[in-house]
Amino acid sequence: MTAALPVLILMTSLVPAIVTFFLPQESHLLRNALNLGSAVLKLALIVAMLVAVAGGAIYEAALPLAPGLVLLLRVDEIALLFVSLSATLWLLTTIYAIAYFGDKAELSRFFGFFSLCVAATTGLALSGSLISFFLFFEMLTLSTWPLVAHKQNRASLDAARSYLLFALPGSAALLWAIIWLESTTGPVLFTDPPDLGGIDPWSQRAIFALFIIGVGVKAALVPLHGWLPAAMAAPAPVSALLHAVAVVKAGAFGVIRVVYDVFGAGTVVDLGVGVPLAALASLTILWGSIRALQQDEIKKRLAFSTVSQVSYIVLGAALAGPYAMIGGLVHLVHQGLMKITLFFCAGIYDERAGIKRIDGLNGLGARMPWTSTCFSLGAMGMVGLPPLAGFVSKFYLGLGGIEAGAPWVLAVLAASTLLNAAYFLPLLYRLWFLPPAEDASGDERAPALVAPAVVTAAGSLGVGILAASAISPLGWANLIVLRGYAP
């Protein structure tokens, strides 16, 4: 069972993906049942595993490909954190997507690639070796492309091209880094950082930089972030997937793996590459916020907000200290919950009221109270108002900055909070305090669309309020750091 469970978890999204491709467009019921059923099954399996891993169990499954090429699935605490996040959000996004698309065209293709994306994310979360991570990372790249291009209009195709234009060179950089590293050290497993003694420090720095470029594209680090705002051309469930469940998260997760499991936090500090990375992350945080401020479209503003927020995770990893690490890890979850709430809501505004731009939000709070409440919770969380989720992350990141001897982090956090407030609060003001437009319409009689948003909004409230409990993401992050991620 210890070998089978991770494989089984992977299969719960891989098998439905393949089956879905061959389902005729008309068989809605079968397709929906398949996707929802496997999402629930997956979540159940993960919960079972969570309990076991909390008790100290280790799950491992290996498939040797060629010499040096081993597909290794290994479940550790950090893998579980990511995989449980993505599985939970996958279930919610599936419900949302089924309601969102109704009976539009090409749904078998959509849900096929959607499941494939989640399979890839699961795989890279559970990867126990560098090359497995790369394998699933690339699978994610490829299966995302048809989703971004799903509408098949010019804007979507351009967005999809721009995505590959960033992602593929990123992959090349990542592969280059892996091969450069492994040609000296042999296959790198995440159980303990490899011995880098055979590589001179400057080469090590170059490899680190290549790694960061490789995963940084997906994490949308400035200046590799250009594809993410462009990808807003995709339908709302895809945005949720990109921003919260899979893609940028995979990038951020990759940064954590590179810092803590490939190089080791100590080496990162010794090489002096942590501070530049933290600086880059800070730049991304500020730049993303400033750009978000300039957007008039809701989804564009949210996209730049993601650019900014994901770099909190990178910042946490780069500072390479226990508190910062906790902050980064916990933000992986918090940002996911909050951002998916916002995208769900943006999709509902678009779908039910035809509103894409910020000035259309005026007075919508009264007309669409559930959606607007969820949106407000998500936004306030992003700003970092206690006791919402974002506050917890920022608090730990701040502590981490001080601990790592980088008090300037506090300034970055403060500036970012101000900017966050500046680009989110006007939206809330419009929602609740401005009179609606004359010809305003729209309702929220779509429970399957609204319910996922309510759940995630409640979640982002809950993880903040209950942060002190052991089963909260913060508790789990603490456990991870205690179990061996403390440098």
CA distance 180 to 326: 30
| Minimum distance of another protein from residue 238's CB (angstroms) | 15
Among 7, 36, 41, 169, binds another protein (CB under 8 A): 169
Nearest to 349 by CA among 363, 332, 364, 338: 364
Name which position in 24, 55, 67, 435 contacts another protein (CB under 8 A): 67
Q: Does 175 bind another protein (CB under 8 A)?
A: yes
Give the interface segment with another protein, choosing from 3-11, 59-67, 402-410, 445-453 (CB under 8 A).
59-67
Please report whether residue 223 would count as binding another protein according to CB under 8 A.
Answer: no
d(CA 220, CA 306): 8
Q: Rounded distance, CA 159 to CA 144, Å?
A: 12
Measured in degrees and rounded to the nearest 5, phi and psi for residue 128 equal -105, -5
Distance in Å, CB of 154 to another protein, minimum: 8
**Pick 18 or 482: Cβ nearer another protein:** 18
Interface with another protein (CB under 8 A), residue from 180, 279, 370, 402: 180
Tell me the C-alpha to C-alpha distance, in Å, between residue 98 and each of 94, 104, 110, 263, 334.
6, 10, 11, 42, 25
- CB < 8 Å & 24+ apart, contacts of 425-429: 425/379, 425/383, 426/358, 427/298, 427/301, 427/358, 427/361, 427/375, 427/379, 428/375, 428/376, 428/379, 428/380
State the minimum distance, in angstroms, from the CB of residue 179 to another protein: 5
Residue 127 backbone phi and psi in degrees, to 5: -60, 135
Among the listed residues 28, 109, 205, 356, the single contact to another protein using CB under 8 A:
109
Tell me: does residue 24 bind another protein (CB under 8 A).
Answer: no
Q: Is 484 near another protein (CB under 8 A)?
A: no
φ/ψ region of 186 (left if φ > 0, alpha if ψ in -120 to 50, else beta) reads left
- If the CB atoms of residues 172 and 418 are measured against another protein, the closer one turns out to be 172
Nearer to another protein, 251 or 452 (CB): 251
Q: Which residues lie closer than 8 Å to 353 by C-beta, 6 or more apart? A: 360, 364, 367, 368, 440, 441, 442, 443
Range in contact with another protein (rule: CB under 8 A) among 51-59, 171-179, 288-296, 344-352: 171-179
Pick from 6, 128, 146, 363 the residue near another protein by CB under 8 A: 146
Q: Which of 482, 472, 486 is nearest to 50 (CA)?
A: 472
- Residue 113 in contact with another protein, rule: CB under 8 A: no
What span, in angstroms and rounded, lies between the C-alpha atoms of 420 and 409?
16
Among 139, 330, 399, 427, binds another protein (CB under 8 A): 139
Candidates 7, 15, 32, 182: give the one binding another protein (CB under 8 A): 182
**Number of residues counted as binding another protein (CB under 8 A):** 37
20 phi and psi, to 5 degrees? -60, -35
Would you call 22 helix, strand, or coil by DSSP?
Answer: coil
Contact range with another protein by CB under 8 A, out of 41-49, 137-145, 253-261, 402-410:
137-145
Contact 159, 231 (CB under 8 A): yes
Q: Is 115 in the site for another protein (CB under 8 A)?
A: no
175 exposed, middle or buried (CB, 10 Å; 0-12, 13-18, 19+)?
middle
> Does 172 interact with another protein (rule: CB under 8 A)?
yes
Can residue 168 be called a binding residue for another protein (CB under 8 A)?
yes
- Of 149, 196, 258, 292, which lies in the binding site for another protein, with binding defined by CB under 8 A? 149
Shortest CB 108 distance to another protein, Å: 9
**CB under 8 Å to 39, separation ≥6 — which residues?**
12, 13, 87, 90, 91, 94
15 lies in the binding site for another protein (CB under 8 A): no
Asked whether position 209 contacts another protein by CB under 8 A, the answer is no
- Residue 102 tokens read as 């109704």
The site for another protein (CB under 8 A) is made up of 21, 64-69, 71, 106, 109, 131, 134-135, 138-139, 141-142, 146, 149, 151-153, 157, 160-161, 164, 168-169, 171-172, 175-176, 179-180, 182-184
